[in-house]
Amino acid sequence: VLPFPSQVVYNRVGKCGSRTVVLLLRILSEKHGFNLVTSDIHNKTRLTKNEQMELIKNISTAEQPYLFTRHVHFLNFSRFGGDQPVYINIIRDPVNRFLSNYFFRRFGDWRGEQNHMIRTPNMRQEERYLDINVCILENYPECSNPRLFYIIPYFCGQHPRCREPGEWALERAKLNVNENFLLVGILEELEDVLLLLERFLPHYFKDVLSIYKNPEHRKLGNLTVTVKKTVPSPEAIQILYQRMRYEYEFYYYVKEQFHLLKRKFGLKSHIRKPRPRPEFFIPSPLETEEPIDDEEEDDEKWLEDIYKR
């Protein structure tokens, strides 16, 4: 049996399937006996230095093995003298994530007719029913930068520059993905994400895919689907793509790394044909259709190196 991390952090990105995964984690924690540590704080992702120290202290003293989950930007435990945990996360197409959040804030999901009123009780009616195209084309703050720079800070961290759309935050986020995250998956390929989590972290995720595919669980998952979503016009979507160029550069980077990992472990699952890539100034990443040679290092050694980080 490989050594396994006893400290795992899932700093879940909003509207990237995290409620589905947390539902699974509640079942898995009872089944496998690990400590699932959750937070009731959902709207505070950026922390002061003292808040970072306090949260890291609280996490580090939790009973092990633990999996901590919260909407929070990357925390550097080693900066405050703590042991760096293994990080995992999931992201999705940035425009799809934005649209899901836009309509969820206004209309909630299928769990209750009025749950959006609980989340945004002070939202004015004219704002709640603001047409998505008007929001984008007329440059409302909610539909323009820096509000659209959302995914990268979860991986860049707590530095103030992590919230500024640009190369610095992008490159720092990529570096943290490489050095601190065991796996960053793609929501559009969730079953493969779960397969790899089960492979890498069996003490936490054993049997996760069979639980996920259980009809009773799928019913629960369907209740978290956002309601009243509409699709913006092609012109509005193109503007979003332009405004989210760094988000897309990061998304395609993560997607490429995820596909490399899938090939390495022999996953060739069928996925839906993606929609055409937007025509703008992000260079296309190298495709990974061909299987990767297995000469570089064996799978078990690779996992051991990850666990020792």
pLDDT tens digit string along 16-33? 999 999 999 999 999 999
Return the pLDDT at 106: 87
Cα–Cα distances in angstroms (integers) from residue 113 to residues 122, 185, 215, in the given order: 17, 31, 23
Q: Where are the domains of the chain?
A: 7-267
- 64 neighbors 36 (Cβ within 8 angstroms): no
- In this predicted structure, the answer to whether residue 280 has a pLDDT above a threshold of 60 is no
Alpha carbons 165 and 71: distance in angstroms, whole number: 20
Query: Is 71 a residue of the active site?
Result: yes
Nearest of 54, 65, 27 to residue 201 by alpha carbon: 65
Q: What is the mean pLDDT of residues 293-297?
A: 38
DSSP calls for 92-128 = --HHHHHHHHHHHHHH-BTT-TTHHHHHSTT--HHHH
**H-helix segments, 189-296:** 190-200, 202-205, 208-213, 215-222, 234-243, 245-264
Which helix (H) or strand (E) segment holds residue 91: the answer is: strand 86-91
Level-2 CATH architecture, domain 7-267: 3-Layer(aba) Sandwich (3.40)
Nearest of 157, 167, 16 to residue 98 by alpha carbon: 16
- Which one from 32, 42, 71, 73 is the annotated catalytic residue? 71
Among the residue ranges 101-105, 213-217, 300-304, the one predicted with the least confidence is: 300-304
Q: What is the mean pLDDT of residues 245-255?
A: 98
Alpha carbons 172 and 204: distance in angstroms, whole number: 28
Mean residue pLDDT of the chain comes to 85
Nearest of 85, 69, 84 to residue 11 by alpha carbon: 69
